Amino acid sequence: MDTTPNRYRLTKHALSRFWHAHAWAGVITALLVYIMFFLGAVVLFYRPLTVWEEPLLQRTPQALPSLERVVQLAAPESEEFYLYLPTGERALAKVGYYLPDTTFWRMWWLDADAGLRIPEREKAAAFVYDLHYLWHDVTGYWLQYGAGVLVFGFLLALVTGALIHLGRFGRQLFQFRPDRDRRVLWSDLHKVAGVFGLPFQLVYALTGSMMVLSPLFFQLSIEPVFGGDAARAVATAGALVEDPPARDHGPPAAALPLDALVARAREVEPRLEAESVVYRGYRHAQGTVDVRGPIAGQPFGDGLVRLNAATGAFESLETPDRGAAVGTLARWIHGLHTVEYGGLVARWMLFVLALGGCITLLTGNWIWIERRAATNPNARPSAGDALLAKLTAGVGVGCFTGLAALLLASRLLPLDMRDRIAAEELALAGMFGAWIALALVTRDSAVLWWRGLALSGALLALVPLAAVRHSPLGLFGSGPRHSTVLTVDGVLLAAGIVLMATAAVLRRHQRQRASVRSPARPDATSEPAVVSSAAGLASTRTATTRAASAPEPS
């Protein structure tokens, strides 16, 4: 550890405390935050993936002469439901709702022309989206809140890391020595990627934790801040709160047709482009409907007009330019995190930054392991360090294999198969778990990495071929091309080839490294066998160049 006081004159004691906080916070949170960053990178392309995976959406958006017909078709089992209208990226309307008193979400596609309510049958993209913040219907909120707390730990690591290097960002940004030994390489890579991505990681950690924890914070604030007045709390929080508190919706009463309600909402806010509606207390006298959608000319956040669904009476209006300070903050939090700006180019850049975040997290763990091994080079690594090394490799490569298995399963399983969504989820979970198990019994993590990447690449490359089963509009289909399906197929094929090529390079370097291992270091194979793709290169160079001359990385 470099405890040299920096130019801002932090004391040696403060530096030491910051460093320990950085290291412990990082190592505790790294693997789960890595999963969030990895899946977050995929979720950047959520909308194209939803079109690619569901053939029902690979058509021109359905025109709806009557919105009320869609409501009748929806016939939800719940009095509270979300109705999503067709848009440029969603060819059919859909309805979604939680089964009463559960966290189980049900969704149906609504084909107004054919008069069909088609159950959701494909959920790969949504599964990845939910897992990105550790949500699953089975686990409910506790795991989501756990994710929020973890991300706060990651924030602590970011802040303490920045404090440690305060005044030395310039040096850490430029100091990059890919031809040194792996400890130096990881240290440099950790710091260069960390400094470059610091604003990105700060923004995403902060906004992510706020989004995930906001329901909890909101509930906790009602009593002490608002004296128990939930309605006033909701009015203040605005867009920060998705669900208003439960209230009595009164006796049964017919709702006005949705066409009339949307027209009334547009009278209230003419700039509103209705994309979805939320009914609460449907067919009750005090039931409400939220008409939601983007506000033309306003950045970040949809507008919302709340009406009494039975009478059409106006209740409230939320637009980006009318929100309270908290509401405005919430819109910026949501808008920044979900990239409500820019186009495809911006999303690809954020994809690179998310991968950079993954590298920062993994290299942090590898530095920890190497540093602890270096304190006593003749001793075997502790059980905790050995486990951390294996879990880092297992989780690191397991994300690739799990995702590839999920996508391939989504193309191979018949669309009418019973429980196919559960089967898809099992494909991801099973593959991910298998690679963690493999990591626990594999001595050399480099082998695990190249084999895992090779398998992931092969599976991903097969996905566009398998996609022909469900849609002829893709890369290898026989029908007319659909631009989104074609693009996703092409990207998956390219990703598969890149992963297989990376695996080949890693395999070559891993074998070279094995062949040049010095016999003077009989304990070499018992070291925590941690290696990255970059480390594979570096470790080869290490054996042939100047490992011993590498200075202590700070």
Partner 1 sequence: MSELAALGWVYVACALWLGSDHPRGVARWGLLQPIARARGAKALAAALVLAAAVLWNASEPGPAALLAVPVAVMACGTSITLLAALFPRALVASAATVLPLSLLLVAIGASSG
Among 116, 313, 346, 417, binds partner 1 (CB under 8 A): 346
CA neighbor of 389 nearest in space, from 414, 364, 407: 364
Q: Is 189 in the site for partner 1 (CB under 8 A)?
A: yes
Q: Show the tokens assigned to 22.
A: 């950085």
Q: Show the tokens assigned to 505.
A: 């390079």
Least distance to partner 1 from the beta carbon of 170, Å? 8
Among 42, 126, 147, 193, binds partner 1 (CB under 8 A): 193
Least distance to partner 1 from the beta carbon of 448, Å? 18
Among 105, 169, 200, 226, binds partner 1 (CB under 8 A): 200
Q: Rounded distance, CA 406 to CA 425, Å?
A: 7
* 288 CB-contact burial (10 Å; exposed 0-12 / middle 13-18 / buried 19+): buried
Among 66, 89, 113, 174, binds partner 1 (CB under 8 A): 174
Least distance to partner 1 from the beta carbon of 449, Å? 12
Residue type at position 224? P
Q: Is 534 in the site for partner 1 (CB under 8 A)?
A: yes
| Closer of 145 and 176 to partner 1 (Cβ) | 176
| Closer of 169 and 314 to partner 1 (Cβ) | 169
Least distance to partner 1 from the beta carbon of 78, Å? 36
Helical (H) or strand (E) element with 373: helix 344-375
Span near partner 1 by CB under 8 A; candidates 132-140, 146-154, 333-341, 469-477: 333-341
Q: Rounded distance, CA 459 to CA 476, Å?
A: 16
Q: Is 296 in the site for partner 1 (CB under 8 A)?
A: no
Q: Which residues of 412-439 are buried (b: 16+ CB within 10 A; e: fewer)?
A: bbeeeeeebbeebbebbbebbeebbebb
| Closer of 411 and 509 to partner 1 (Cβ) | 509
Contact 206, 220 (CB under 8 A): no
Q: Is 345 in the site for partner 1 (CB under 8 A)?
A: yes
Among 537, 539, 542, 553, binds partner 1 (CB under 8 A): 537
DSSP E strands, 356-408? none
Alpha-carbon distances, residue 96 vs 82, 107, 278 (angstroms):
5, 4, 10
Q: Residues 477-516: x/- map of binding to partner 1 (CB under 8 A)?
A: -------------------------x--------------
Q: Is 199 in the site for partner 1 (CB under 8 A)?
A: yes
Q: Is 167 in the site for partner 1 (CB under 8 A)?
A: no
CA dihedral sign of residues 25, 30, 31, 32: positive
Q: Rounded to the nearest 5°, which phi and psi values hold at 94? A: -145, 155
Residue type at position 316? S
Q: Show the tokens assigned to 143.
A: 């795991």
Among 105, 169, 196, 226, binds partner 1 (CB under 8 A): 196
Binding residues for partner 1, per CB under 8 A?
Answer: 170, 173-179, 185, 189, 192-193, 196-197, 199-200, 299-300, 335-336, 341-343, 345-346, 348-350, 352-353, 355-356, 359, 502, 533-534, 537
